[in-house]
Amino acid sequence: MFVSRKCIFHILVHAAALLPAALIVWDSTRGQLTANPIQEITLRTGKTTLVLLVLTLSCTPFRLITGIRAVLPLRRILGLYTFSYACLHFLIFVGLDYGFNLPLIFEEVLKKRFAIAGFAAFITLLPLVITSTRGWAKRLGGDWQRLHKLVYLTALLAVTHFTWQVKADFRLPLLYGIIIIFLLVIRLPQVRAKLDELTLPLRNLISAIGRHK
């Protein structure tokens, strides 16, 4: 049976995205989720959500720099995994931490600024997921592209949420902040045009290598 390179690549991406969830299950069966498993799972799913969000945002700049279009379909896959981990992260907070006690959750979210930012980030993901199908992309036309720019706000809210929940060491939130700002700035038309010019030799080289294979 012939399995295309694209198919193998996609299988690897799915496997990598599922790995953090598998590790949580594996560690929980061996009692390796620290003395506070709920907090550990919250932190792990939060970090995975952020990493996946950054990877989703990296696909377009990667294509701009390398000319490799094969990464573009990954935006949807990675975006859906981002949402899945965000749901898990959110459900652990509302379910395991607060036993689905909605008035208490509401009270707590309003008391903690980091939770407000996290909740806002989660809400911005909803229209993106709902309209992620081909049908919605067709129905919305140009508006679809405009709507999906909402992911930039998601990223800024997510990094704000991360920064506000950290108590002492701000290095990691700062690093994520810098990466996200870079990924957003690179999309500005003037920056994009300059980058296009600067990376032309690299794209030519990659396409020449591709032709010789």
Distance CA 104, CA 98 (A): 7
Among positions 165-194, residues that touch ligand HEM (CB under 6 A) are: 165
Torsion of CA 59, 11, 162, 175, to 10 degrees: -50
Residues in contact with ligand HEM, counted by CB under 6 A, come to a total of 24
39 vs 66 by CB, closer to ligand HEM: 39
Within the chain, residue ranges assigned H as helices are 5-29, 37-66, 74-91, 102-111, 113-130, 134-140, 142-147, 150-165, 171-185, 189-198, 200-212
70 vs 120 by CB, closer to ligand HEM: 120
- Give the number of other Cβ atoms within 10 Å of residue 15's Cβ: 10
Structural contact between residues 76 and 131, judged by C-beta atoms closer than 8 angstroms? no
Among positions 17-46, residues that touch ligand HEM (CB under 6 A) are: 39, 42-43, 46
Closest CB 195 distance from ligand HEM, rounded Å: 27
Distance CA 120, CA 115 (A): 8
Among positions 83-122, residues that touch ligand HEM (CB under 6 A) are: 86, 89-90, 93, 109, 115, 118-119, 121-122
- Binding-residue pattern over the window 130 to 169 for ligand HEM, x denoting contact by CB under 6 A: ------------------------x---x--xx--x----
Among positions 56-75, residues that touch ligand HEM (CB under 6 A) are: none
Which positions lie near ligand HEM, rule CB under 6 A?
39, 42-43, 46-47, 49-50, 53, 86, 89-90, 93, 109, 115, 118-119, 121-122, 125, 154, 158, 161-162, 165
